[in-house]
Amino acid sequence: MSGPLRYLSGFGNEHVSEARAGALPVGRNSPQRVAHGLYAEQLSGTAFTAPRAANLRTWLYRRRPAVVVGAYAPFEQPWLKSGAAQGEAAPPDPLRWAPAPIPAAPTDFVEGLRTLCVNGDPDAQHGMAAHLYLCNRGMGRRAFVDADGELLIVPQQGALRLVTELGRLEVAPGEIAVVPRGMAFKVEVDGPSRGYVCENYGAALRLPELGPIGSNGLANARDFLVPVAAVEDATPGSAGFEAEPGAYEIVKKFGGRLWRAAQDHTPFDVVAWHGNLVPCKYDTARFMTVNTVSYDHPDPSIFTVLTSPSDTPGWANVDFVIFPPRWMVAEDTFRPPWYHRNVMSEFMGLVHGQYDAKPAGFKPGGASLHNAMVPHGPDAEAFAKASAASLAPHKLEHTLAFMFETRWRLAPTAFALNGGLLDTSYADCWRDLEDHYQ
C-alpha cells in the first residue's frame, strides 16, 4: 500500500468532499452546467419517498456518467451464489468449515469469491449471503458493482485497499468495510489475502438502537471513517492517484448472476460528491463492549455493531455482531456462551485468536453455521474448564470472532458441502458431555 489516506468521520452523516476546489455545486444539486465540465449523477440507496431519517442518496460530480458503458455479457464465476434458491438441501446439523487455502494461481477479489451459505432473495430485497474471499492480486482495470446487495467486508489475512467511486479506504484485519449497493469499487492487495463478506440483500445496515444503554456505547458513530474524493488517472488540479492505463472491465452482480461489460475510461472519476450513501470502514478495537458486572452471561445482542432490520421489529434481516477482547467478571456464573437453540440462524467466523466456546477446532479463517433451532454451545473441553475455573476477574485477550445473525434459515452451497472444507466430525466435540445428574 502507498502512503496514509485521509478520511471523513461519522456514520449516517451528510458528507461533502471534492478533489478539486470549486467542483461541488453550492445551493443546488444539478446546475445547468456543472463546474469544470462535469456531469451530475445521483446514486439512490432508498426509494425517493423513504422517510427522511432513513433516506439514503449521494450526488456525484464526475467526468463521465455511469451510463457510458458497453453492453453486458455473462461473466463466469461458478463459486458465487445468491438467494435460497441457489443453496442446497441439508439436514439440521451444526456445520463447521476449516480455513480455505488461498489459491496459488493469480486470483483477484471477484475471481476469489466463494459462497458458503445463502438465504432470502435479492430480487425480493430480503436475506443475505455469507461469502469467503481468497485472492492474491489486485483487480487492476476491473471494477465490481453489486446491484443485488450491500457488502460488509471482514478481512482475516492481509490488508485491503478499496478504491470506490467516492474515494479510497485501507482496511486491515480487525477492521471492517461497508460498500453500498450499486457502487463501483475494486480491491487492491499486497499479497495473499483472505476474509469474509456479508452480502446484505435487505435494508441498509445501520447502528442498532441503544435503549437503556443510553446515548453512548457499542460502535460509536464518529469512529466510522468515510473516504475523501480522489480521481483515478487524475487531471492536473485534481487530487487523485495513478493507476495502470487502459480500458476498464465492469463486472456487475445483477439478479443473482455476474455480467461483464467494457468501457474505455475509469469508473473512479468522481471529482466531488455530497450525500449520506457512502462506503465506510470501522476499527473493531474501538467498540465499547457492554457486559455484566454482576452475574450471568447476557444475550450476544449486546455485541451488535450494525443491523439490517426486517419488516418485523426486533427480528433482524441480518445483524453483524463481534466478540472482541473483554473482561469477564461475573460471579457464580458459567462464563462462556450458554447452550442454545435459537429462532435466528448464526453464521460465525474467526479473525484471530480463539473463540471461548470452542478453544479447539474453530480456526482463524474458518467458519461455522448453526441454523434456526439447531442446538449449539460450548464443547466438552470448554464446559469442563469453565465449570471448574476460578471466578477471579479475567480478561479475554487476543481474540476477534464475529457473527452474521439472520432471521432466515441459511442454506449451504454445493461448495460448502463438497468443497473439502467441511468438518464432518464437528458434532463429536459435544460427544463427551456426560450426564452429571445426582
E strand or H helix at 418 = helix 414-418
Give Cβ neighbours of residue 438 (< 8 Å, ≥ 6 apart). none
Q: Which helix (H) or strand (E) holds 263?
A: strand 257-263
What does the alpha-carbon distance between residue 214 and residue 235 come to, in Å, rounded to a whole number?
Answer: 48
Judge whether 297 counts as a catalytic residue. Answer: yes
How far is it, in rounded angstroms, from Cα 80 to Cα 99?
18
Q: Phi first, then psi: give them for residue 90, nearest 5 degrees.
A: -145, 145
Catalytic residue among 265, 297, 340, 352: 297
Beta strands of 136-247 (E only): which ranges? 142-146, 150-157, 160-164, 167-171, 175-179, 185-189, 193-200, 225-227, 231-232, 240-241
Q: Say how many Å lie between the first and final Cα of the chain, rounded.
A: 61
Rounded to whole angstroms, the Cα distance separating 423 from 78 reads: 23
At 363, give phi and psi (nearest 5°). Answer: -105, 150
Alpha carbon distance 438, 436 (integer Å): 6
3-state secondary structure of 23: coil
Question: What SS3 state is found at 241?
Answer: strand
Grid coordinates in use for 252?
456487475
Q: What is the distance between the alpha carbons of residues 82 and 331, in angstroms, rounded to a whole number?
A: 45
Please tell me what DSSP assigns to residue 415. Answer: H
Using CA atoms, how far apart are residues 45 and 240, in angstroms rounded to an integer?
26
Using only C-alpha atoms, the chain has a radius of gyration, in whole angstroms, of 22
Q: Which string of DSSP letters, residue by residue, matches 330-393?
A: -SS---SPPPB--SSEEEEEEEES-BTTBTTT--TT-EEEE-TT--B---HHHHHHHHHS--S-
Q: Which residues contact 135 (CB under 8 A, 6 or more apart)?
A: 102, 103, 107, 108, 109, 111, 112, 187, 189, 192, 193, 194
Q: Please count the residues of the chain.
A: 438
Give me the active site residues, please. Answer: 297
